[in-house]
Amino acid sequence: MIAKSGYEALYPPQEEAIKAGVLHGKNLVLASPTASGKTLVAELAILKSIIEKGGKALYLTPLRALASEKYEDFQKYAEIEKSPGRKIRVAVTSGDYDRADIYLENYDIIISTNEKADSLLRHRSPWIADISVVVADEVHLITEADRGPTLEVVLTRLRKTNPHIQILALSATIKNAAEIAEWLNAIPVTTEWRPVPLREGVYFHDEIQFKDGASRIIPRSDTNPVFDTALDVVRQGGQVLIFAETRRLAVEMGKKASALLRRSLPKQDRRGLESIAQRVLSTGERTRLGDTLAEQILNGVAFHHAGLPSPHRRIIEDSFKTGRLKILSATPTLAAGVNLPARTVIISSYERYEPGYGRYPISVLEYKQFCGRAGRPKYDKFGEAILIARTEDEQDYLLKNYALAEPERIWSKLGAEKVLRPHVLATIATRFATTEEGLVNFFANTFYAFQYDPKMIRSKLGDILSFLHREQMVEFNGEELRATKFGRRVSELYIDPVSAVILRDGLYTRAKNVTEVSFLHLISRTPDISPKLYPRRGEDEMLDLFAKEHENEYMCETPEYYGDANGVTYEEFLAEIKCARVMYEWINETTEDAILETHRVEPGDIMRMVDTSQWLLHATYQLAELFGHKDLLRPTYELQVRCSKGVKAELVPLVELDGVGRVRARSLFNAGYRTLEDLKHCSVTDLMSVPLIGPSLAKRIKEQVGGLIKAEEWESLKSKTAESTEQSLLTDYRKGEGS
Ligand SMILES: Nc1ncnc2c1ncn2[C@@H]1O[C@H](COP(=O)(O)OP(=O)(O)OP(=O)(O)O)[C@@H](O)[C@H]1O
Ligand SMILES: [Mg+2]
């Protein structure tokens, strides 16, 4: 199979890893540059374990997008027989944290995000005992403050539950791979090998100075050096990734690059670009952000950031991979996401800004991640990573501190109380620890305890335990430490214990008037909604007004203009109100474009808020059930559905249909189809006369609601189906409307 994929020999890092004993079950930390073939090492170990030992593999990735990428890639193994008549089965799982996913016991390779794996451990999924090999991809994530600790805890737990598990940790080049290896009882393999050689340089004054001493002149026009360099590369047949500091800059640089590239774009490229732009415009709701993107695409340029809805990001990634787009202007998130190489990577700024902290230079680790995107295997003979200097001194500084520098050590971030708290509760709730001593012992096995003094963890654990005890999530029975029913549920619901307290107390407080705003505000108050949406200049008044209009609806004390309530200041309260207000507009069918216009909240952010809110509303429902608030069950359930689809209550029955999102549901409703019963009694032809409903969707609706379709009616409709309608339905389906 490997030969069939066109591989002729192992890459040097792969050879080294195998020599280190990966195929004999040895634990491994493989720190090696981007695209140096780390995945294959994991794949070989996985297959070995599945076929020879009948084991199961868990492949951990930091992002959903990476999990799907691996899932698609690993499908090739589904044709191998692991035993006579039984082929290997591959599954991907992410999202919905409140499930044990028992069905996964039938799969051999399970690809999961770190968070999902953590939630599965909390649900004590029985098949976890069968895992014989775990792969922690992008293990340098451990050093990230908000998401690193989860990975660390998952690995610690897995080692405890499955003492014979083989661990493979894959990482970008880092300084302390050996330290991680020591923690995991693994063999460290570090390499600098790349399939495409990398040239790192710094631009100053018409010239790029490379770290190997070479240099290259860049013809200057009157523009920014970023664009001079980019256009020079495109003229020579390469593609360019520009990393911008912020979303706004990514869009602006895209705009500028697009205006410049327009002049030199060959005619034959235009048609292809038009069809990509068209795809962007016809996918999801039309917004000004999408329009700006489509305009840039027409000239072979795009921007890429987390404010774009994910179907748009997918379109751009695909079009860049096929070479249609020449320049991509992206925020740093792209460097950690799916594999998207370009010949030249331009790092337009090596500084970042953080409110209250000021400007600071990025880490070498981050710089190296940008470099990792340079050079397309098979297409480019070399890759280039270029920093931009404004003075000669700065050029020296950048060469020395980035191009020639070693990446930093990575550090565990598990020590912060906020991140440690949920893991402490989970450890007790799953009975991984049944005494305070046991708890200390469990955390003594983490990377945090390995890097720092294990004693440091003891006092932190004490503080957290008293919080959990005070809030009745854990109880002591002599020496024995147990989670209460509440504590166990909180751990499984995968919410911050502090959020759980806010929700629980809110449910008891009761507003004078309980409405959708009551719940939306309550969840917006929890630390699981993060980062908060702070009001923009000029938005205060509008939010203040909204807050006053709903003053009888809050399920907690709220602060006055000057002063605070339970430590929440008025400013923070308005940030909660802003979140609640955006969600309120969303469930009342305000368009994405209008939300963008009024609140500067972009479609990608709305989608993330929808995800989180839905999950918190699920938690609210579950806690309402646990504490016996029967009257709150229906409203929280309905709100959850409305939130997931962005609709008013009257559309809830319609959006439950596959293929029907909020726009089409509204269209059906306005045409007089208000219930599934109404749909059952109409013909396919009737349905097709509704705006936005094409023949295949009409058929799909009929299939779901029941009722007859006459064969001859269907045949005649099918022949009329224009190809373009099918096309647009396909894109709707991909974007997951109503699925
Ligand atoms: N021995 C080989 N011969 C030819 N191509 C290979 C070989 N091994 C891997 N590749 C190809 O190299 C590419 C990069 O491999 P891989 O995704 O494993 O990189 P990686 O080391 O995990 O990088 P990253 O840090 O980006 O995750 C893949 O497209 C893979 O198909
Ligand atoms: Mg990889």
Does the structure show a pLDDT above 90 at 537? Answer: no
Instruction: Give the C-alpha separation, 155 to 135, whole Å.
Output: 10
- For residue 383, with 0-12 CB atoms within 10 Å meaning exposed, 13-18 middle and 19 or more buried, which class applies? buried
What token pair was written down for 254? 């895209």
pLDDT digits over 260-316, tens only? 999 888 888 889 999 999 999 989 899 999 999 999 999 999 999 999 999 999 999
Calculate mean pLDDT across residues 700-712.
Answer: 79
Confidence of residue 738 (pLDDT cuts 50, 70, 90): very low
Does the structure show a pLDDT above 90 at 356? Answer: no
Calculate mean pLDDT across residues 470-498.
Answer: 97
Distance (Å) from CA 293 to ligand 2 centroid: 29
Q: At residue 517, what is the residue type?
A: V
Answer yes or no: is the C-beta of 173 below 6 A from any ligand 1 atom.
no
Does the structure show a pLDDT above 70 at 737? Answer: no
pLDDT score recorded for residue 371: 95
Distance (Å) from CA 178 to ligand 2 centroid: 19
Atom of ligand 1 nearest to the CA of 41: 18
**Closest alpha carbon to 520 in 571, 566, 579, 574:** 579
Instruction: Give the C-alpha separation, 22 to 15, whole Å.
Output: 10
Residue whose CA lies nearest to ligand 1 atom number 20: 35
Atom of ligand 1 nearest to the CA of 5: 31
Atom of ligand 1 nearest to the CA of 11: 1
Distance (Å) from CA 9 to ligand 1 centroid: 12
**Closest alpha carbon to 167 in 278, 309, 57, 13:** 57
Residue 650, Cβ neighbours under 10 Å: how many? 12
Residue whose CA lies nearest to ligand 1 atom number 12: 37
**Closest alpha carbon to 281 in 728, 730, 738:** 728
- For residue 375, with 0-12 CB atoms within 10 Å meaning exposed, 13-18 middle and 19 or more buried, which class applies? buried
Q: Which residues of 599-619 are buried (b: 16+ CB within 10 A; e: fewer)?
A: bebbbbbbbebbebbbbbbbb
Confidence of residue 712 (pLDDT cuts 50, 70, 90): confident
Confidence of residue 730 (pLDDT cuts 50, 70, 90): very low
Residue whose CA lies nearest to ligand 1 atom number 16: 37
Instruction: Give the C-alpha separation, 421 to 415, whole Å.
Output: 10
Instruction: Give the C-alpha separation, 93 to 112, whole Å.
Output: 5
Atom of ligand 1 nearest to the CA of 10: 1
pLDDT digits over 30-64, tens only? 999 988 999 999 999 999 999 999 999 999 999 99
Confidence of residue 1 (pLDDT cuts 50, 70, 90): confident
Distance (Å) from CA 406 to ligand 2 centroid: 20
pLDDT score recorded for residue 717: 64
Mutational test site, ligand 1, from 5, 10, 18, 36, max ligand atoms within 8 Å of CB: 36
Q: Left, alpha or beta for 463 (phi > 0: left; psi -120 to 50: alpha)?
A: alpha
pLDDT score recorded for residue 47: 96
Cα 165–Cα 170–Cα 174 angle in degrees, nearest 5 = 130
Answer yes or no: is the C-beta of 37 below 6 A from any ligand 1 atom.
yes
Bridge-partner residues for 201, per DSSP?
Answer: 210, 386
| DSSP-derived secondary structure letter, 98 | S
pLDDT score recorded for residue 264: 83
Confidence of residue 714 (pLDDT cuts 50, 70, 90): low
pLDDT digits over 65-108, tens only? 999 999 999 999 999 999 999 999 999 998 889 999 999 999 99
Answer yes or no: is the C-beta of 34 below 6 A from any ligand 1 atom.
yes
Length of the chain: 739
Distance (Å) from CA 70 to ligand 2 centroid: 9
Calculate mean pLDDT across residues 594-619.
Answer: 96
Confidence of residue 731 (pLDDT cuts 50, 70, 90): very low
Name the residues around ion ligand 2, CB cutoff 5 A.
38
Calculate mean pLDDT across residues 140-146.
Answer: 93
Helix/strand/coil for 149: helix
Residue whose CA lies nearest to ligand 1 atom number 4: 7
Answer yes or no: is the C-beta of 256 below 6 A from any ligand 1 atom.
no
pLDDT digits over 406-429, tens only? 999 999 999 999 999 999 999 999
Residue whose CA lies nearest to ligand 1 atom number 8: 37
- Residue 678 neighbours by CB under 8 Å, 6+ apart: 672
Distance (Å) from CA 37 to ligand 2 centroid: 7
Instruction: Give the C-alpha separation, 495 to 564, whole Å.
Output: 25
Report the DSSP pairing between strands 568-569 and 564-565. Answer: antiparallel
Confidence of residue 732 (pLDDT cuts 50, 70, 90): very low
Atom of ligand 1 nearest to the CA of 40: 18
pLDDT score recorded for residue 434: 96
Atom of ligand 1 nearest to the CA of 195: 12
Answer yes or no: is the C-beta of 7 below 6 A from any ligand 1 atom.
yes
Bridge-partner residues for 386, per DSSP?
Answer: 201, 346
Distance (Å) from CA 3 to ligand 2 centroid: 20
Percentage above 70 pLDDT, the chain:
96
- For residue 566, with 0-12 CB atoms within 10 Å meaning exposed, 13-18 middle and 19 or more buried, which class applies? exposed
Answer yes or no: is the C-beta of 39 below 6 A from any ligand 1 atom.
yes
Distance (Å) from CA 627 to ligand 1 centroid: 52
Calculate mean pLDDT across residues 141-153.
Answer: 95
Mutational test site, ligand 1, from 16, 39, 76, 168, max ligand atoms within 8 Å of CB: 39
Atom of ligand 1 nearest to the CA of 38: 21
Residue whose CA lies nearest to ligand 1 atom number 26: 34
Residue 275, Cβ neighbours under 10 Å: how many? 13
Confirm if 737 and 667 have CB atoms less than 8 A apart.
no
Answer yes or no: is the C-beta of 353 below 6 A from any ligand 1 atom.
no
Q: For residue 369, give the ligand nearest its CA.
A: 1
Question: How many CA atoms lie less than 13 Å away from 91 in the CB half-sphere?
Answer: 15
Question: Which stretches does DSSP call E strand in 326-483?
Answer: 327-330, 344-347, 351-354, 358-361, 383-388, 474-477, 480-483
Distance (Å) from CA 172 to ligand 2 centroid: 9
pLDDT score recorded for residue 662: 92
Answer yes or no: is the C-beta of 36 below 6 A from any ligand 1 atom.
yes
Confidence of residue 708 (pLDDT cuts 50, 70, 90): low
Residue whose CA lies nearest to ligand 1 atom number 5: 7
Calculate mean pLDDT across residues 571-593.
Answer: 96
C-alpha pair distances (Å), 574 with each of 423, 540, 559 = 30, 7, 10
pLDDT digits over 625-678, tens only? 999 999 999 999 999 999 999 999 999 999 989 989 899 999 999 999 999 999
pLDDT score recorded for residue 719: 64
Answer yes or no: is the C-beta of 40 below 6 A from any ligand 1 atom.
yes
Confirm if 326 and 233 have CB atoms less than 8 A apart.
no
| Residue indicated by tokens 């709150």 | 632
pLDDT score recorded for residue 140: 94
C-alpha pair distances (Å), 421 with each of 113, 451, 459, 463, 465 = 20, 19, 13, 9, 9
C-alpha pair distances (Å), 700 with each of 283, 652, 693, 707, 723 = 19, 18, 10, 12, 17
Residue whose CA lies nearest to ligand 1 atom number 29: 35
Q: For residue 375, give the ligand nearest its CA.
A: 1
Distance (Å) from CA 685 to ligand 2 centroid: 50
Helix and strand numbers, DSSP H then E, in the chain: 33, 23
Confidence of residue 198 (pLDDT cuts 50, 70, 90): very high
Residue whose CA lies nearest to ligand 1 atom number 30: 37
Answer yes or no: is the C-beta of 649 below 6 A from any ligand 1 atom.
no
